[in-house]
Structure 1
Amino acid sequence: MIRILQQDNKATKIIFAVIIGAACLSMVAYLIPGIGDNAGATGNVGVFATVRDPGFFGKFTGDSTDIKTSEVNQIAQQQLQQQRLPEGFLQFLLPRAGQMLVQRAILKHEADRLHLDVSNADLARELQTGSFARYIFPNGQYIGDDKYINFVQTYFQLTRAEFEDQVKGDMELNRLQALVTGGVSVSDNAVRESYRTQGTKVKFDYAVVSSEDIRKSINPSDADLQAFFTKSAARYATAVPEQRKIEYFSFDASNLPGGKPQVTDAEIASYYGQHQDQYQVKEQVKTRHILIQVPSGADAKTDAAAKSKAADILKQIKAGGNFADLASKNSDDPGSKTQGGELPMIPTAGLDPAYAKAAMALKPGETSDLVRSQFGYHIIQTEAKDSAHAKPLAEVKEQILPVLEQQKAGAAEQSFAAQLAAEAKSKGLDKTAAAHNLKTTTTDFIGKDGVIGGVADAAQLLTQSFSAAKGAAPASVSTGDGFAIFQVVDVKPAHAPDFADYKSHILDDYREQQVPQLLNAKLSKLADRAKVLNDLKKAAAEMNVPVKTSELVGKDGQVPDVGSMSGQASVAFTLAKGAISAPINNGTTGIILSVTDKQEPTADDIAKNFDATREQLLSTQREEIFRVYIGTLTDTYTKKGAIKYTQKQPAPGSSPFGG
């Protein structure tokens, strides 16, 4: 049992877990909480939308679910990172993420309405046998509370209670999908035909026309390029980006008047007093225990039998029996029984209240009488305990010192930067720098993505320099390890390049424009000639196009220069042996193929793969039916006013499932 000693703590967070593999979960994304609730809010602070029961009384019962803005932002950020998209795409992902969470909330309301509840026993079985079993119960053995809690915190940034509550929620949604799609079926003929299509393999010759070869063959004259350059004047009007010349001087903490600020003991003590909550040690206890489990909802007879068994074990312990041996033989807690019932030091706030109270009442080495928790009857032996207390100042002084040093140095640097900027406005950069033993530097003309030597982080210096006017008063800006005082001394606006200087770029652009048309033309000519000759190799040889031969491949195969056989090249599976395809153009490469061999699966192959193919078809149909079910539910909730958006509503027809 996993939730041993743990409080039944409800949570509203949603986890992002790629290892949850059930069908419903494959259609619904999750997230790791972590961004502030106000992030990205454009309406009611912290809340993107609220979903309530669509019934008449749903307006009054208060049974509703808030979708937090932080959750929407986090899912969108996850998708941005996974798809490796530029930051600018976030605005397009946010509505989809919000709609996905709205639909998940709707499904949860429906599952609750249908009483598809998940018990603690259901959860225990899922964790021991489901998708998480290989992490929590490798080889059937529980990894122990410490590793379990670390696993949950590392991968999901949740407490154990929150994690288990969300796994329960996922199980509930799986049950809803099973209920909705339970009647799906496929015919035997459909299964056989599906595998026949999937199992067919082909071998083919293919002529490869490379766009790179086409590009290299394009050699325009200077007159052609000049005409192209003139015709594309608008395209090149700002081809050379704006550049600026910047004068600046910089400093860090070592240049502060009077040196780096020192931190006094009094300041450390004051900080310690103002941040007592950071140095609190929670009440915690280390125990051994033996659990005789009582299933949730068990009758009085079952409870009495468990109590009697626990009482008998307690007698053996009091008679001198070895606690660890008795735990290994009798405890129903799989996580601790193999360790002689031993549990790590655990904060009592994370334990069942009855267990925690009994454990803290014992002195180290003492054994309790029977203790009844929500999981059953325990015999507890306390090994060590700590009362709640604050760490003494002497213990945390070395942690506080660098914090205060950084704060004081940062404040001093900021103040000094403001002073220097004010001086530079009246005296100029050179005189101000010299007066403080600093040195000015003037850059060459540089762009927004340029490099400024001698500055730890020039990002802000460049950003502010490109938003300041030429000759504007000197200003200060952070450089990561200090500040810089700068002034823009000259500006070169974005402009069109000289033809001679930009000729190589113009040639690249000219070729890029010509390639698609020439590639298509060559492919069409090759395909036509091959069909006239009824021989791809002869036609390719006439046009000096290389021909390659594939292995025998199926639809899940990959072929060099062709790519996935499930893409445009899948036309090969529809062609008869000896047939020649139409042009296949993937943008960078074009091919013409001729089938040389074709093998369809035998009746035995179909029979061997019949069950797997049926399950694949059923899974596809179930997902489609559940997709329609979700859409219908969403329409119902929308029409009945059960969805209230406090953020901008996603565009109509958007779907979190990419449909």
Structure 2
Amino acid sequence: MLDILRRHADSWIIKVLLVGVALSFIIGFGAFFYIKDLIGKGRGRKPAIVVNGEAISTARIQNALRNLEYQYQQIFGENYDPETFRDQLRRQAIDQLIDYTILRQEAERKDIPVSDEELKRKIHEYPVFQTNGKFDIEKFKRFFGQRRGRSGLTQKRFLEEERQQLRVEKLRRMILDSVKVSDAEVEEAYRLKNEQVNLLYVAFDPKDETGEISFTEEELEAFFNQDPSAFQLPERRRISYVVFDASRYLDGIEISPEQIAAFYEENRDRFRVEEEIHARHILVKSSPDASAAEDEAARKKAEALLAKIRQGADFASVARENSDDLSNRDKGGDLGFFGRGRMVPPFEDAAFALLPGEVSDVVKTRFGYHIIKLEEKREARQKSLEEVSDEIAAELKAEEARKRAEAAAKAFAEALQNPEDFEKVAQQQGLEVETTPLFARGDPIEGLDRPWALISEVFRLEKGGVTEPVRAGERFVVARLDEIASPKTPTFEEVREKVIARFKKEKRKERAKARAEAFLAELKGGAAWDDLVTREHLEVEETGWFN
């Protein structure tokens, strides 16, 4: 399959095929964000992209970006950091819109039919139009009645767009069904998916470049003038908000023994401790592409080391002096505790067959020849209810407190008749209203832990809008958008401190890169890895197994 893609990279069919996963985002993501995209159309903004004569507006790109951000929030939860993903997601959103537009244009050209019954089934699947899991025609009518005045979105227009999307989905299936995959391509795909590697590496961190960085005012201004837009102040927003902290609702929550026992029975697998062993090893490297003579030399060296150990030599000392596994050589080959599935099969099978204190014969893997010593073994077992009852009780209590905090937040939101009631309702409920300074999408909000989901919701609001309850750490927050500050390109004087910080950062990156390039050049020139690592005071790190 990969070879087919490489040979036909310029084919429009292959390009369309590559968007198969992306299409699920545009076609199947659901009514809420899709309808927001429709509402955002037709507001007179200049197109950001033109595809075969058809304009894609900046507003549509922003809506597609928000949809992707929402998906990533669902995947990463409270650990989602928009700064980490923003550039990648923006490129992805643009690519998806372009691909979708090309597909839709082709589907229209082919006049792919979509029946009324197919359209009806699709509309009925949207949760936003359902009550108790079933399509509700009154809810459907009410939805468009509420939006007609301020957005121009009508049932007719919505159904036309839905029909178009079904055409695109049919075209996509036609393309995918036409692709034939050989056994060799299946084998290659399986190998790429399942083959694992473990890397040792050294990092040259710009933060370690602590030497003095001097500059003149002229250098700073020249650096700024290279790209003033890089210092652009993004759109910023200011909110008022109230917090519902789960810890405030812990008092009075009682968890019964029956609840604890029921949770234990429903989650027995969580409390099962799998078999683990604590082992050491010595590696004599022999790569899969080594010659027969090289491989034989490695095997003989491993056999000699094994004989030395069986004659009474200390295993850890022999490992420190001879092992080629740099990640644990200095620890006497200590691998710590690990369970099944962590090591390559020949190594795992040999290690788990040993008894504590035993040393294996020489074991061959794709990395070379190993000698393994088992230090300890922990048998698999099920933790008893008594062992974990306190842990379960604390978890159930915290979960109930979160539910109560969320319920209080929902009650507050429902009590708001309009945004101006925010302070009055807060006062009635004994809540303190907090106000933020202006902040951008990637900025933290002081006093709130992991606020990224809240920030994402705030940047979907119109001025004066109020969020639904949003979780931030162990709190739920309801916020009102008070102010929107448009993006602007600042003067040098306005951002001088930021220019200094970025100038220094770039210089440190240049120094780190120069060190890394010099290290690599010496390594390619024949210098020993260990000698270079020691001289440069570098720490060897390990990725762990991955594919």
Higher relative contact order (CA 8 A, sep 6+): 1
- For Structure 1 versus Structure 2, the TM-score category normalised by the shorter chain is 0.3 to 0.5
Indicate the structure with greater helix content: 2
Q: Taking structure 2 as the reference length, what is the TM-score of the superposition?
A: 0.37
| Structure with greater Cα Rg | 1
Q: Taking structure 1 as the reference length, what is the TM-score of the superposition?
A: 0.31
